[in-house]
């Protein structure tokens, strides 16, 4: 049975291709070998290039250090974390709560669209959706309900995305006790 099948296959190859059985299988083997060599040539070079690119990107991108807890600092001290020093974390405050925004350096770092907020308490600016220098303050007086709601939304976003690393130390103005109304008389 197998011999009859082989004989029928040999005759079919000769009739349909015009080649001898040996020549037909040689052409098939050479075609497969050529396909294998060409596909390996292209796939190995592209995968090797892809491997080299991934290695280069791994070397360029350094993992972020863990957030450093600062505790209570002044607004003046906060200005030192504006991204100018690449060895320091990038910080920003909302409602006197300081967040490490280093993971979003492309937004808040130098040259980023929100770089002016870095190193500052940007509560008023965020509430008003303002990029004015005069609004880069923690002063919320005179803001309306919608602005305060917008600020609350920003605060929730920061709380969920970034690590809180400290608070801004509030300075209380010192009054001179010698100029009380009673002593002024």
Looking at residue 61, what is its pLDDT?
A: 61
Over residues 152-168, mean pLDDT: 94
What pLDDT, in 10s, does the model give residues 61-99?
A: 667 777 788 889 999 999 999 999 988 999 999 999 999
13: pLDDT confidence band, cut at 50, 70 and 90?
confident
> Is the predicted pLDDT of residue 128 greater than 60, yes or no?
yes
Average pLDDT value for the chain = 84
> Is the predicted pLDDT of residue 46 greater than 70, yes or no?
no
Looking at residue 2, what is its pLDDT?
A: 81
171: pLDDT confidence band, cut at 50, 70 and 90?
confident
Of 40 and 114, more confident? 114
Q: What is the pTM (predicted TM-score) of this model?
A: 0.60
Give the ranges where the chain is alpha helix by DSSP (H): 2-17, 21-60, 75-78, 105-108, 123-128, 145-161, 181-184
Non-local CB neighbours of 165 within 8 Å, separated by 6+ positions: 67, 68, 69, 70, 89, 91, 98, 99, 100
The CA distance from 148 to 134, in Å, is 18
> Is the predicted pLDDT of residue 179 greater than 70, yes or no?
no
């Amino acid at each position: 049975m197998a011999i009859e099948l082989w004989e029928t296959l040999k005759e079919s190859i000769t009739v349909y291709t015009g080649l001898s059985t040996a020549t037909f299988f040689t052409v098939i083997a050479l075609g497969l070998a050529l396909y294998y060599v060409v596909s390996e040539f292209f796939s190995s070079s592209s995968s090797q290039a892809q491997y080299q690119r991934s290695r280069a990107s791994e070397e360029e991108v350094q993992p972020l250090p863990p957030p450093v807890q600062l505790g209570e600092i002044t607004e003046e001290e906060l200005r030192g974390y504006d991204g100018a020093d690449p060895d320091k974390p990038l910080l920003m405050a909302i409602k006197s709560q300081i967040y490490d925004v280093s993971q979003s350096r492309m937004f808040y770092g130098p040259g980023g669209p929100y770089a002016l907020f870095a190193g500052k308490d940007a509560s008023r600016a965020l509430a008003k959706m303002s990029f004015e220098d005069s609004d880069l303050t923690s002063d919320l007086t005179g803001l309306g309900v919608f602005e305060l709601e917008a600020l609350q939304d920003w605060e929730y976003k920061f709380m969920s995305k970034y690590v809180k690393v400290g608070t801004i130390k509030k300075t209380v103005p010192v009054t001179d006790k010698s100029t009380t109304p009673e002593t002024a008389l």
